[in-house]
Structure 1
Amino acid sequence: MRLVLIAAGAFLLLSIRQEPGPPPGAQQTSATTSAPADTGAASPLPRSAPTRLLIPSIGVDAPVTGMGLNADGTAGEPPLSKPYLVSWYADGAAPGEIGVAAFYGHVDSQASGPAVFYRVAQLRPGALVQVPREDGWTATFRVYTVKRFPKSDFPTDHVYGDTDQPEIRLITCGGSFDRTAGSYRDNIVAFGALVQNPA
């Protein structure tokens, strides 16, 4: 299933309205990346909405809310007043379904300092992402790469395009801060593939 998320020139995005401190960095690239063949991908799961997102290696344990698109065609993200909430693109794949399940979180805010996805850029291949679902099952994904892309040249098809297995994307802001625009110039994207069916 392909996510039709983003109108031309209107990429996600989790911008901070006032200047925060710099977030951790990630490798900048525009190269195509696909899940390696040895991820040990599990069989797809039936559709069920996520309820939480857990990333033990970076200390994330956060509630998830489903959201659609904003009026400008960008993906809905949590309000800055809820810096520890994660949003899921509810019109796309659910975690464990074939396709890309996309999750969004703030990197930081003026009020909170570091937010829920502050350390996403520090994820390394092999890190596990656990997504408890409404049906009581937990879908587990293994991160296979983390990349940084300029918002001005965001590779929409690469990040959200068709895939023949269940995958996950964790998306936040990064790079340098544009004081004029009041937002970061880049997006950090963690790519992962389903590796374990729920018990």
Structure 2
Amino acid sequence: MGLEENGSLKVPDDVGNGAPASWYNGSPTPGERGPSVILGHVNALGGHKGVFADLRKLRPGAEINVSRADGSTAVFTVDHGTLYSKNEFPTLEVYGNTAGAELRLITCDGYDPATGLFDDNYVIYAKLKA
């Protein structure tokens, strides 16, 4: 997916099961040098869990397998996860160039029942293993 007219990242349409996750096409493909960005929902329509509902459970050292269009799999190792306020999102830190192939998994967090909106984003940082 690409960008909205206001410059924000498009998010995948929830087809009722909180899926799919989607790759931001302005970032490197998973396994290429730089931070590949994949977005996914934390929850889904009808009270279901989103594809990234359990993102906060990933711990350093966990492996993430990303299927690539060419049929290969890029394997990443989780470095850390960080919670950011949407109002203070560190764009350069998350999307900026990296020396090697890295992965960023991004979802919403910090649901505010008063507004019905998510105030934060949770980001997993991972590095290519194989």
Q: Any idea what SS the aligned residue of 1:116 has?
A: coil
What residue is the counterpart of 1:132 in the other structure? 67
* 1:137, distance to aligned residue in structure 2 (A): 1.1
Output one character per residue of 1:162-194: Cα deviation in whole Å (capped at 9) or x when no partner: 1010000000011242532x3111100000000
Q: Any idea what SS the aligned residue of 1:100 has?
A: strand
Q: Which of structures 1 and 2 has the bigger CA Rg?
A: 1
Q: d(CA) in 2 for partners of 1:142 and 1:106?
A: 21
Q: How do 1:19-38 and structure 2 match up within 5 A?
A: none
Which AA in structure 2 matches 1:75? L
Moved more, 119-128 or 170-179: 170-179
Q: Matched residues, percent identical?
A: 40
Q: Any idea what SS the aligned residue of 1:142 has?
A: strand
Q: CA RMSD in A?
A: 1.3
Residue 83 of structure 2 is aligned to residue 148 of structure 1: yes
Q: Any idea what SS the aligned residue of 1:158 has?
A: helix
The runs of 4+ residues in structure 1 deviating greater than 6 Å are: none
* 1:112, distance to aligned residue in structure 2 (A): 4.0
Unpaired runs of at least 5, structure 1: 1-66
Q: d(CA) in 2 for partners of 1:183 and 1:97?
A: 34
Q: Any idea what SS the aligned residue of 2:22 has?
A: strand
Q: TM-score, normalised by structure 1?
A: 0.62
Q: d(CA) in 1 for partners of 2:58 and 2:23?
A: 19
Work out which structure has the larger RCO, using CA pairs closer than 8 Å and 6 or more positions apart in sequence: 1
Q: TM-score, normalised by structure 2?
A: 0.93
